[in-house]
A and B are shown apart, each in its own frame.
Chain A
């Protein structure tokens, strides 16, 4: 994208102000919604409730045992084993890590100070694997492990994942509905926003947009007007109801109406040789 060799780029993390400053103007188009789920592998445990702070403490290595009293207090009646917790995280830089740590930094001051949010974070304990399939694979193969995985992989592979407490105090299971509910709050015009820990009823707290990023001025690197129009056609198609309804079938979640409206507005600002492409 930065080298101007592609038509568009997909990302789970929006560009930072610094990255934006180093590039020509771009437009962020949210295409659908996804979430990061906290998947686990515990014999006989069908339902696991967690709060953001507890998740942060597990990944910070502060809660080390499954029968820690903070875990048993959240999960009365669940037989948690007296075994060490094995955290699993991503070994490669990733938007999934960004969304997950962005959430942890919001709910845990300790996490924000010690580890922060980013595509790569210095996790202090556990083991790492490459890509969502790698992490999902390690979790499903390792007893007493816990890790974070893109919802689309967790839903598709049917590995168990935790119910997380949201900003309103509700315990929410990640589903297409609860993920879409997280975008119910205010969204800035350029859609560059983190919606983790959203203050909305029924919202799953580790939800996020996933964006396609295009250049605002489409005439670059000798691209033809047809190419620019085709790119916008594709994006409009992605935003259409037809495609949005498919998202939940492929284990993502549809955009709420407001995000779609904003995206359509933003697409109208895209130009070729300074002339708006969409009339």
Chain B
């Protein structure tokens, strides 16, 4: 009897999640329908116009898709030189030592900082530095947003990659050492090939987080509705345009913003799926 009850509770709980997810998709699709109908699905995705002119409103998602992908990918590039060494430090070189546990705790702490704090730090500390160094004359932009995003995703990448590095079988490593391999050679020839797709998947999953980050990006990207023509220029991401304009939007603009939300949802889902597939492959190896 108890077992049966337990099953039912589990079943209901498990059912609620897909229902919520389905409901979100349903709401997004129905509310985005107007925009897709008015502009055409493909045209909405490829138009770079975002113009409020009454009577001739033009809303296209391309500037924001570009802005999102640019910030997320740049953040990924910037985070590699920090997250990979941390992962190797914690997962291989100083594995199990006090230093490693302190380092991994500190890295994990980064994940607990609210994004508004990252935004404020970026705005008041990083942005003036970039301006003073003349790296970005107007301060805000894709580059500034990506740098802060990079710091935000380091903990996710570092701890997940460290787990995959720890999973590399000891036999393989010991075998390599017995053949006279140095530590650097073991990392290059054993750890990277074995844990590679796992490490890669941790980066893919981190992109998923970078794509949807809203507050930090809104505070730093400059919020202009055009396609960024360089990494210093200003732009807007899908999440930041929604955060900026949702409050006062109605009719077609509201529907367009929801359509952007749907596109963001699809892109994030796709990237997470790729990440999951990579993890599965990593397990098989």
A interface, CB within 8 angstroms of B: 84, 86, 91-94, 116, 118-123, 126-130, 134, 137-138, 141-143, 145
Contacts and interface: CB of A to CB of B under 8 A. Distances in A.
B139 A142 contact: yes
B247 A92 contact: yes
Contact of B223 (A122, A127, A137): A127
Given A93-B245, A93-B247, A138-B140, 18 more contacts: A84-B137, A86-B138, A91-B245, A92-B247, A92-B248, A118-B52, A120-B245, A122-B53, A127-B223, A128-B222, A128-B223, A128-B224, A128-B234, A129-B219, A141-B124, A141-B127, A141-B128, A142-B138
Given A92-B247, A116-B53, A120-B245, A130 B223 contact: yes
17 contacts: A84-B137, A91-B218, A93-B245, A94-B248, A121-B52, A122-B51, A123-B224, A127-B138, A127-B222, A128-B222, A128-B234, A129-B219, A130-B218, A130-B243, A134-B219, A137-B123, A141-B124
Nearest to A94: B248
A86 B248 CA distance: 25
A86 B140 CA distance: 11
Interface in B107-155: 123-124, 127-128, 131, 137-141
A92 B245 contact: yes
Contacts of B127: 141
B285 interface: no
B80 to A, nearest CB: 28
A83 to B, nearest CB: 9
A123 B249 CA distance: 17
Contacts of A86: 137-138
B54 interface: yes
A123 B140 CA distance: 16
B47 interface: no
B182 interface: no
Given A92-B248, A130-B243, A142-B131, A120 B52 contact: yes
Nearest to B236: A91
A142 B144 CA distance: 14
From DSSP, what is the main secondary structure of chain A's interface residues?
loop
> 9 tightest CB-CB pairs across the interface, nearest first?
A93-B248, A91-B223, A128-B223, A127-B222, A91-B244, A120-B52, A127-B234, A86-B138, A127-B140
Contact of B131 (A93, A121, A127, A143): A143
Interface residues of B, number: 29
Contacts of A118: 52, 54
A138 B127 CA distance: 10
Contacts of A127: 138, 140-141, 222-224, 234
B243 to A, nearest CB: 7
A141 B53 contact: no
Nearest to B50: A122
A86 B53 CA distance: 24
A118 B52 CA distance: 9
A11 B222 CA distance: 26
A140 B161 CA distance: 41
Chain B CB count within 10 A is highest, among A94, A116, A122, A126, for A122
A128 B234 CA distance: 9
Interface in B219-254: 219, 222-225, 234, 236, 243-245, 247-249
Contacts of A121: 52
A142 B132 CA distance: 10
Contacts of B128: 141
A129 B223 contact: yes
A142 B225 CA distance: 20
Nearest to A118: B52
A141 B53 CA distance: 31
Chain A CB count within 10 A is highest, among B51, B127, B139, for B139
Nearest to A119: B248
Contacts of A129: 219, 223
Chain B CB count within 10 A is highest, among A86, A93, A116, A119, for A93
A119 B248 CA distance: 8
B216 to A, nearest CB: 13
Nearest to B241: A91
A17 B137 CA distance: 43
Nearest to B141: A127
A119 B53 CA distance: 11
A260 to B, nearest CB: 29
Contacts of A92: 244-245, 247-248
Nearest to A125: B224
Contacts of B51: 122
A126 B137 CA distance: 11
Contacts of B124: 141
B105 to A, nearest CB: 33
